Amino acid sequence: MVCLPQAVQLLMCDLLLVTRTNIWQQQQQKSAGQQPSPIHPACPQELRGFQLDLSSLRRLAQSFRPAMRRVFLHEATARLMAGASPTRTHQLLDRSLRRRVPLSSKEAGTREAAPTTREHAEALLLACRYLPPSFLSAPGQRVGMLAEAARTLEKLGDKRTLQDCQQFILTLGSSTAVTSS
């Protein structure tokens, strides 16, 4: 049974973290154009605010399991914002990319819930935009992952993020055309 106050807390924590993420991503795009480039870490005040909000989400997740799905995605974002090593960030994003289906109803209570389609699309975008190409196994995998994210975002009706994703696909396509010629 979902407790309304906890659901509202989850909504508010997530809204704060998503807003902080969007601001940081806009700063990244301004400094790099849309090109995949080295990540510029967030300033200490921005990072501290993000981590305080993430800490609130973690506390909520201890008693409200649905919040756990968002923790992995936001932890990966915090690592990106801090300029941390991409290996652990990749592992956290992978948890949001894998779809886990419990084998029995007994296991359903012990495993965290599978990521939603929105979380999956967000994780794809973060991975494609900020992880080094060596973390994506095949050369064309980045464009395929972005296309999957775009299809999902279109189904969800998220026009702003869809437009951002499509712009990144176009920029990525033009940068690979330039480098391959």
Domain final position from 115, 139, 165: 115
In angstroms, the CA 123 to CA 22 distance is 14
CB contact at 8 A, 37 and 83: no
Please state, in angstroms and rounded to a whole number, the distance separating the CA atoms of residues 136 and 146.
12
pLDDT of residue 177: 47
Task: Give the residue from 44, 69, 45, 42 showing the smallest Cα distance to 58.
Answer: 69
Kindly report whether the global pTM for this prediction surpasses the value 0.85.
no
Q: Provide the token pair at 33.
A: 């154009």
Q: What is the pLDDT of residue 40?
A: 83
Domain boundary among 96, 115, 134: 115
Whether 96 contacts 116, CB under 8 Å: no
Q: How far is CA 22 from CA 7, 27, 28, 32, 35, in A?
A: 22, 9, 10, 15, 17
Q: Is residue 34 part of a domain?
A: no
Per the structure, the complete domain to which residue 85 belongs is given by 1-17+42-115
Tens digit of each residue's pLDDT (9 = 90 or more) over 64-105: 888 888 999 999 999 999 999 888 888 888 887 775 544 444
pLDDT of residue 178: 42
| pLDDT at 61 > cutoff 90 | yes
Give CA 45 to chain center in angstroms: 21
**Mean pLDDT, the chain, whole residue set:** 82
What does the pLDDT look like over 120-135, one tens digit per residue?
A: 999 999 988 888 888 8
Q: Who wins on pLDDT, 37 or 38?
A: 38
Residues 13 and 68 in one domain: yes
Q: What is the pLDDT of residues 111-120, one digit of tens each?
A: 556 778 888 9
Asked if residue 10 is part of any domain, the answer here is yes
Element (H, E) at 81: helix 68-82
79 within domain boundaries: yes
Q: Are residues 50 and 128 in the same domain?
A: no
9: confidence class by pLDDT, cuts 50, 70, 90:
very high
- Of 35-49, 58-72, 77-91, 167-181, which range is least confident? 167-181
Whether residue 107 is found in the same domain as residue 169? no
109 lies in the same domain as 122: no
Residue written as token pair 């396509």: 173
CB atoms within 10 A of CB 163: 12
CB 12 within 8 Å of CB 72: no
